[in-house]
Amino acid sequence: MTAPARHTDTVHAQFDPQAKAYLTSAVHASGPDLIHAAERVLGAIPKEKGVVLDLGCGAGHLSYALAPHVARVVAADPSREMLETVRLTAGERGLPIETVQAAAGELPFDAGTFCVVASRYSAHHWGNIARGLGDMRRVVKPGGYLLMIDVVGDEDDLVDTHLQAMELLRDKSHVRNLKASQWRQAIARAGFDLLEERRWPLPLDFDTWVTRMRTPPERVAAIRTLMNDAPAEVREALAVTDDGSFTLQTGVFWARAA
């Protein structure tokens, strides 16, 4: 029997081959959260002095949104392929972005390095969010800012259980979409004061959603069964359509180091 893979290995296996797909993914490449993030950073720090960490940068969309408004962005990710995609794209666009291979909770930076520490659509893969946020608190300057963007879980446990099951069936590197209430607690415990919380609907086309993650057919079938058998409350909360498409919520949390 083959030994089970470690979680970090599973994350690499899921995302290393998908760097170019994530670069062109409409879900990741656009959205009101990116516009809002750029506005918050632009209004918080002087452009000529701003140094931002984009942790779990993936294909770099948050880095591309913030880079025009700061002196430098450091894009960090465990995936070499994702970082190479960011490096090439930043060069093509003339953006001040450098890449560093690093994972949440294991940041190779001195304390107080960054004006803003940020992450988008990455934290639900972290094995220990408290550790990741704590390390982000360590490397941000006194009075610096935290920007977290991620799909949020549902406050209703019935809906949330179905959502987490769907996510794990689709992507075996998934850990958990925190509820908004859990994000507030985690941010406070890490030593940040929450300044603003926003949320936007995130419509997802079912076929695109599973294809992007190369979900095996048997898992796709399991997700469809789970959706079809879900109680009315779940289908209503997730706005499930006849073809299996549905809508999640993107949460944006803007905080300052206490």
What the chain holds in terms of domains, given with CATH numbers, is 7-153+174-203+248-257 (3.40.50.150)
**Predicted confidence pLDDT, tens digits, the chain (258 residues):** 555 666 666 565 565 555 556 555 656 766 899 999 999 999 999 888 899 999 999 999 999 999 999 999 999 999 999 999 999 999 999 999 999 999 999 999 999 999 999 999 999 999 999 999 999 999 999 999 999 999 999 999 999 999 999 999 999 999 999 999 999 999 999 999 999 999 999 999 999 999 988 999 999 999 999 999 999 999 999 999 999 999 999 999 999 999
Which pTM does this prediction carry? 0.91
pLDDT reported for residue 170: 96
Q: Which string of DSSP letters, residue by residue, matches the chain?
A: -PPPPPHHHHHHHHHGGGHHHHHH-HHHH--HHHHHHHHHHHHHS-TTT-EEEEET-TT-HHHHHHGGGSSEEEEEES-HHHHHHHHHHHHHHT--EEEEE--TT---S-TT-EEEEEEES-GGG-S-HHHHHHHHHHHEEEEEEEEEEEEPBPSSHHHHHHHHHHHHHH-TT-----BHHHHHHHHHHTTEEEEEEEEEEEEE-HHHHHHHTT--HHHHHHHHHHHHHS-HHHHHHTT--TTS-EEEEEEEEEEEE-
Write down the pLDDT at residue 75: 98
pLDDT of residue 194: 98
